[in-house]
Amino acid sequence: MTAPIYYSALELANLIKHSNSGAAVVLGGPQATFLDEECLGRSAADAVVLGEGEQTMLDIAASIESGGMCDFDGVTYRDEDTVVKNPDRRPIAGLDNIPFPVRHLMPTEKYSPPKSTGVISSMGCPFRCIFCASSNLYHKTFRSRSAYNVFEEVAHLVAQGYENVTMLDDNFILNKERVFEFADLLEEHNLKFDWSCTGCVDSIDEDMLRRLSEVGCNGLFFGNESAANETLEVIRKGFTTEQVIAAFDVLKKYNYTTTASFMIGLPGDDQQKVIDIISLAKRINPDFAMFLVTTPYAGTELYEKIDQDDIELTVNDWSQFTLAKPVVCTSALSTKDLRQLLVKAYVSFYMRASFAARAVAKKQLRFVLSPVKAVVTSVVCSLF
């Protein structure tokens, strides 16, 4: 579970337990991992899987089957009236040994074409951005599947009629050698499908972008966050605005569909810094820009040190942690300011004639309008 679905997941756990007290209910995912004891205190669930669940869930099933307890690493569990917290489990070593997801259980026909799916080719991230739970969730390490194993999964997907694949990793392009190897495999086996991936601007180089565009990769997602180098340093992003600008200049050469994400309300943000973010977004001119309000999720340094940074929590309700509604304020920006700036950012980025012209030229209008409409509606609704 993630933060916004926290209460509904706990409610579902209770419903299941109340209708069948013999059922074992196990929770997992980032929010449960970081609030494990609280989850068991607030619900009737039996156990929480800490971090990655592939092996731990199998161990839990085996243990329940043999009438035992979930008393092993990687699990916090309920033992009658007490909650027992075990240490984290060691990260799974060989990711290639994890079977591919059982996608045939997904009713893909209910989703509009093209038939699309996501692939996870690595776990974790070596960086430590203060607003992100990923490195804590995955033991501050980056582990990846081999290029061949990822190729095998996508070959299987293409054979099943998938036309579009998104690499949902934190940073797919981090390990260049693996990226080139993957590209060679796609070319060698003449595998044709549209795909996109994630990256950090400091991980790209022109050779890699050229190579990826040759093998069907047509979209890249970047978290750029701020336009101020001092803020990028505070949040430990590890790159500068100059690198962002240079990266997007190269991306345009290869005709990628780019998405750039920015955060509004980071420590030290004031009106001017947000205006600078909007200007940077227009300067680098991605196909899509996302402006998200800074949200201190459990498991992040921002959440742990909320009172020490120039940022204050104004909402304690996890269901509001959606990135579209301010749950914080900074010393210079109230929650009302943040809401207004969010609307301003979306309106000034998307309501440009040049943006509409490009969307029409790239046949993206349909893709642009629905998410923009959803975000703008949600932001406008939250104003009242």
In one letter, which amino acid is 172? Answer: F
- Please, what is the minimum distance in Å from the beta carbon of residue 295 to ligand B12? 7
Contact, 382 vs 339, CB < 8 A?
yes
Is there binding between residue 9 and ligand B12 (CB under 6 A)? no
d(CA 326, CA 373): 19
Determine the residue with CB nearest ligand B12. 28
Contact, 221 vs 286, CB < 8 A?
no
- Please, what is the minimum distance in Å from the beta carbon of residue 127 to ligand SF4? 4
Give the nearer residue to ligand SF4 in terms of CB position, either 90 or 236. 236
User: Could you please report the per-residue DSSP string of 338-363?
Assistant: HHHHHHHHHHHHHS-HHHHHHHHHTT
- Please, what is the minimum distance in Å from the beta carbon of residue 190 to ligand SF4? 32
Chain positions 143 to 172 lying near ligand SF4, rule: CB under 6 A, are 170-171
Is there binding between residue 324 and ligand SF4 (CB under 6 A)? no
Residue from 206, 215, 254, 228 nearest 332 by CA? 228
d(CA 309, CA 303): 10
- Pick the binder of ligand B12 from 29, 199, 296, 326 (CB under 6 A): 29
Is there binding between residue 9 and ligand SF4 (CB under 6 A)? no
Give the nearer residue to ligand B12 in terms of CB position, either 41 or 101. 101
Chain positions 100 to 119 lying near ligand B12, rule: CB under 6 A, are 118
- Pick the binder of ligand B12 from 216, 223, 296, 299 (CB under 6 A): 299
- Please, what is the minimum distance in Å from the beta carbon of residue 365 to ligand SF4? 29
Is there binding between residue 165 and ligand B12 (CB under 6 A)? no
Binds 137: which of ligand B12, ligand SF4, none (CB < 5-8 Å by kind): ligand B12
- Pick the binder of ligand B12 from 4, 199, 265, 267 (CB under 6 A): 4
Cα–Cα–Cα angle for 111, 260, 198, rounded to 5 degrees? 65
Q: What is the CA radius of gyration of the chain?
A: 22
Chain positions 322 to 341 lying near ligand B12, rule: CB under 6 A, are 322-323
Give the residues across from 291 on adjacent strands.
Answer: 262
State how far Cα 169 lies from the chain centre: 8
Chain positions 78 to 137 lying near ligand SF4, rule: CB under 6 A, are 125, 127-129, 132, 134-135
Number of residues that bind ligand SF4 (CB under 6 A): 11
Tokens of 83: 């909650």
Task: Report the DSSP pairing between strands 257-264 and 75-79.
Answer: unpaired
SS3 for 219? strand
d(CA 336, CA 70): 46
Tokens of 351: 């309501």
Omega of the bond prior to 114 within 30 degrees of 0, cis? yes
* Only segment of 64-72, 76-84, 171-179, 292-300 that touches ligand B12 (CB under 6 A): 292-300
Is there binding between residue 200 and ligand SF4 (CB under 6 A)? yes
Binds 53: which of ligand B12, ligand SF4, none (CB < 5-8 Å by kind): ligand B12
Residue from 294, 293, 286 nearest 368 by CA? 286
State how far Cα 286 lies from the chain centre: 19
- Enumerate binding residues for ligand B12 (CB under 6 A): 2-5, 26-31, 49, 52-54, 57, 118, 120, 132-134, 137, 168, 170, 297-299, 322-323
- Enumerate binding residues for ligand SF4 (CB under 6 A): 125, 127-129, 132, 134-135, 170-171, 200, 223
